Chain A
């Protein structure tokens, strides 16, 4: 038996609550769970966009189609010659910035109502170059309000405008430059599924784009869009986030569980990866336990639901450029997983303290001996889709590779064959590593059929009856077959190598023995000299005791090569 301990090689937290990093989202746990498919599968969808530009007062633009009731509308109101603010009581200003006498960028949003207007106008008494872009978003945007991801700000050097953040579902990036030609805007964005250039067709001073991020990017990977311009500029980014990176390293640890259904902070799950490949392939896992350590600050443990571990087999948990969600699972998806361990509601949970989960009988089989064992941590409520009026969360340490670990007890399938009580079949074994197999004490015939190779040193000192090693190619075998008391059959051995000398002590011939085609009969008296039977070399003069009591026939033996004394 061996006890192996594996520390977590990777951890990932995904919190669907949009304001998990304390920003101003409005998405409640109830909204998330009611619209899980829309949030996780549909995402935010770009419905339509339009732009308008002039050098008059009151910037405005008109949608080509009536926006759908409930969809979110984003408006980029920019000015290319001054920094005069615009107003619109029907819209909410998300962020703005500008430079006096040069430029201004404002980002507004509004949720479309029934029979929403297509024309939207901002009030500005100064007649100067302006441009308005209107964008309508649907899907998850119909439920969640957009947030400011990068607040409006001036970039004093005219080189690069970088938009970077994590956990973006969809965002709008906008840049406005000062005066004259805007120079070259180059989108060198990476890690995004698609980028839609928003229409700024009337002037080169403005640029904006809608960025659709990959679904499997809620945390742990930077989304970066870079625009290059040779002029000073003002930029901003707004959009919809999908879980915040700060939860993985912030002030509350890694969150497992849901906030109260009317609250907006937590709907988190955690993935853990353990590299368990060091367990020998041929071993059998007899026990597995998981130990996790509580966060080292303010801690919480659910009062009404358990915190469970589910097997993700060897699935990768890292964020990547794909739409395959690796960690956060819907209730129906969790129900399809195998629970391997749990810890009950109301259990003790003290900061910085390690706790061992109660393993299910399914845990040993979930340990992957050839690679990673990955675990999803979710609450029982998240498995059933239960919403409560109370916060039901646990928070574990963010420390990686030290405080969360798997303890696995495993053993070799065939550790010792010596004491097998009867014939044992060991089939399907393809590889035996470091096996010291003692065959000496086998009580009866044993079959090791199908085993291709033994790296084996085995004393076979006391074979008491016929043993068959059929089909085995024995290499490197040191075997003493000293005391064979009767005829033994060693059939099917294809080669015995590295054995310089094979000595078989036949001892006293007590009955008729067959040596090739000849038969020697016991006779009276003794052989007085060495004799040779054709084809067989007798190492020393055998003694034939007793008297010849009957006619002896030595068929085929040349008389001159031996002498018998009557």
Chain B
């Protein structure tokens, strides 16, 4: 069973899909990934706690508590992050893991 990231890459690299079809499938995968986050979730190393995640099209909007300029809006975010120990191998050979909350966490940390 392919992971969400592997499905993501498969869609991106499928020459038979139109860009509209790719966008639609990617958005479905994004919804599946971000709606799987168990809330609330704290961001380690910060006072931030994410209490809600809403996916609308390519936009992922988070709200929460803690010292942060809410809301947090991610435009066309990925659903995973590079990880040298990850088991999901991108088409370019790099290692990843499906981890949408870590995508959110990286975004939070970049703003602090």
Contacts and interface: CB of A to CB of B under 8 A. Distances in A.
Interface string A393-432: 0000111011101010101000000000000000000000
Contacts, number: 83
A126 interface: no
How many interface residues does chain B have, given as a range?
20 to 34
A299 to B, nearest CB: 12
A212 interface: no
B95 A3 contact: no
Given A3-B68, A3-B107, A287-B111, A351 B84 contact: yes
A5 B82 contact: no
A356 B110 contact: yes
B98 to A, nearest CB: 12
Given A352-B95, A397-B82, A403-B82, A3 B106 contact: no
B15 interface: no
Chain A CB count within 10 A is highest, among B78, B107, B110, for B110
A245 to B, nearest CB: 15
Given A2-B69, A249-B92, A296 B106 contact: no
A295 to B, nearest CB: 9
B110 A291 contact: yes
Nearest to A296: B94
Nearest to B110: A407
Given A352-B82, A399-B92, A1 B110 contact: no
B76 interface: yes
Given A2-B69, A7-B77, A352-B82, A407 B92 contact: no
Q: Which size class do A's interface residues fall under?
A: 20 to 34
Contacts of B111: 3, 5, 287, 289, 407, 409
Contacts of A392: none
A296 B95 contact: yes
Contacts of A4: 72-75
10 tightest A-B CB contacts, nearest first: A1-B69, A402-B78, A296-B94, A352-B82, A407-B110, A5-B107, A4-B73, A3-B69, A3-B72, A5-B74
Interface of B: 59, 68-78, 80-84, 90, 92-95, 106-108, 110-111
9 contacts: A2-B70, A3-B70, A4-B74, A5-B73, A5-B110, A7-B77, A354-B106, A401-B78, A405-B110
